[in-house]
């Protein structure tokens, strides 16, 4: 009998303070409409797995407390409560969008899985199961301002154990920015527990809500069976680079091309003829464009990054360097496992340039499609 994941409830965690009016993040898109649709669904996905530290750390209690602490943390990052919309004055052109800061909030999903936490972590097809633990609904491109861009899912497994899954649009936040927010939010969450500012019995506890007898107990159920479609059996491959800019830094386009070539060589992937570049600057605008690769860039998988090493120092980085392994919602209770990936359904590559807000090192991610491996 197939195992299932049950979606028990979907709520909204709004910011705890009113968002000041007329704030937005401009998004400039230089790409075909088909590419825009793909990029709109592209997201960073993280799943953190925890063993409860005690009887007070039940998944239902965690979910209720998460809603309260998120509402406290979100006012510091109003972009994360925002929604995507096309700018009215350029609606016909299709190239200018914005993330409007408002009080729409983050979607909070509560779920129950008919598997143990070990079943997921130890599965040979774990990447497929992880995807069900970080909820996402594709944006309605006709009315994107009604679509959430940020989801947090709390899933209760059979026996002990629960997970917190995060899905966030790259138009909202890049992985580096989002991770910093999640770590800051977790610190706020633990501070509210010690001394307790979060109620032992939160008003948001799911057990307090009762559905009508003629309504189903769950919103929907999803089979956790594996797909026979081979294209879904292997996630996209993502490689990270950390760069320290020097005085003669190359352009972001040149950095992106150099990192793409290096990732293609190291991952032994088929070269792509073009790629989507996202330059994520949380102080200024976000830019999305498609870059065509010249034949000398795409004809070989053995090329080294000469241009990159001539101008900047770089290191290959890993997801765990972002610090997600330290994210604790209960003091001292670190996750037992963390899964991270960029979900990108484009046929070519994706490069994200993550410009830091401070003096931290600039980070670049390169994601190659799941059918690119030679």
Whole-angstrom distance, CA of residue 154 vs CA of residue 200: 18
153 and 135 in contact (C-beta within 8 Å)?
Answer: yes
Give the three-class secondary structure for 15. Answer: coil
Residue 354 lies in a domain: no
Residue 107 confidence class, pLDDT cut points 50, 70, 90: very high
The domain that contains 117 carries what CATH number?
3.30.559.10
Domain count for the chain, please give it. 2
Parallel, antiparallel or unpaired: strands 106-116 and 4-13: antiparallel
Query: Are 25 and 112 found together in one domain?
Result: yes
Place of tokens 């990447």: 127
Parallel, antiparallel or unpaired: strands 349-355 and 362-368: antiparallel
Residue 262 lies in a domain: yes
Burial of 106 (0-12, 13-18, 19+ CB in 10 A): buried
Residue 95 confidence class, pLDDT cut points 50, 70, 90: low
Instruction: Name the β-bridge partners of 343.
Output: 43
pTM summary value: 0.87
Distance, CA of 53 to chain centre: 26
Whole-angstrom distance, CA of residue 164 vs CA of residue 283: 28
Residue 350 lies in a domain: no
pLDDT at 1: 63
Query: Are 59 and 191 found together in one domain?
Result: yes
Instruction: Name the β-bridge partners of 26.
Output: 98
Q: What is the pLDDT of residues 228-273, one digit of tens each?
A: 444 444 568 899 999 865 545 678 998 899 899 999 999 988 889 8
166 and 152 in contact (C-beta within 8 Å)?
Answer: yes
Q: What is the pLDDT of residues 264-295, one digit of tens each?
A: 999 988 889 899 999 998 888 899 999 988 65
Whole-angstrom distance, CA of residue 257 vs CA of residue 253: 6
Residue 26 lies in a domain: yes
Q: What HEC string does 313-367 produce?
A: EEEEECHHHHCHHHCCCCCCCCCCEEEEEEECCCCCEEEEEEECCCCCCEEEEEE
Query: Are 217 and 287 found together in one domain?
Result: no
Query: Are 27 and 170 found together in one domain?
Result: yes
Query: Are 60 and 82 found together in one domain?
Result: yes
Query: Are 85 and 26 found together in one domain?
Result: yes
Query: Are 16 and 93 found together in one domain?
Result: yes
Q: How far apart are the first and last CA of the chain?
A: 36
Query: Are 222 and 297 found together in one domain?
Result: no
Query: Are 302 and 273 found together in one domain?
Result: yes
Query: Are 231 and 245 found together in one domain?
Result: no
pLDDT at 248: 56
What is the domain range of residue 276?
237-316
Whole-angstrom distance, CA of residue 353 vs CA of residue 311: 16
Query: Are 60 and 110 found together in one domain?
Result: yes
């Amino acid at each position: 009998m197939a195992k299932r994941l049950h979606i028990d409830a979907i709520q909204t965690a709004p910011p705890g303070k009113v968002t000041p009016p007329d704030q937005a993040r401009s998004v400039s898109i230089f790409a075909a409409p088909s590419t825009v649709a793909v990029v709109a669904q592209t997201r960073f996905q993280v799943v953190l797995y925890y063993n409860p530290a005690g009887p007070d750390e039940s998944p239902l209690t965690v979910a209720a407390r998460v809603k309260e602490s998120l509402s406290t943390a979100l006012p510091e990052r109003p972009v994360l409560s925002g929604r995507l919309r096309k700018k009215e004055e350029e609606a016909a052109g299709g190239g200018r969008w914005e993330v409007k800061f408002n009080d729409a909030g983050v979607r909070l999903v509560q779920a129950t899985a008919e598997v143990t936490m070990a079943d997921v972590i130890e599965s040979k097809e774990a990447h497929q199961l992880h995807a069900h633990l970080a909820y996402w609904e594709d944006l309605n491109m006709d009315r994107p301002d009604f679509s959430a861009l940020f989801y947090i899912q709390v899933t209760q497994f059979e026996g002990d154990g629960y997970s917190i899954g995060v899905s966030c649009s790259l138009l909202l936040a890049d992985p580096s920015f989002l991770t910093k927010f999640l770590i800051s939010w977790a610190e706020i969450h633990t501070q509210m527990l010690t001394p307790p500012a979060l109620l032992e019995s939160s008003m948001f506890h799911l057990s307090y809500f009762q559905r009508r007898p003629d309504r189903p107990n769950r919103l929907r159920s999803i089979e956790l069976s594996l797909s026979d479609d081979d294209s879904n059996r292997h996630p996209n491959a993502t490689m990270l680079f950390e760069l320290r800019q020097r005085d003669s830094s190359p352009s972001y386009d040149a950095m992106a091309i150099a990192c793409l070539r290096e990732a293609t060589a190291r991952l032994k992937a088929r070269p792509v003829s073009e790629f989507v570049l996202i330059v994520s600057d949380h102080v200024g605008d976000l830019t999305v464009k498609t870059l065509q690769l010249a034949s000398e860039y795409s004809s070989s998988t053995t090329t080294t990054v000469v241009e990159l090493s001539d101008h900047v120092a770089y290191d290959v980085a890993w997801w765990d360097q972002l610090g997600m392994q330290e994210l604790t919602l209960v003091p001292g209770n670190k996750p037992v496992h963390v899964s991270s990936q960029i979900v990108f359904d484009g046929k070519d590559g994706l490069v994200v340039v993550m410009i830091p807000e401070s003096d931290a090192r600039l980070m670049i991610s390169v994601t190659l499609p799941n059918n690119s491996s030679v």
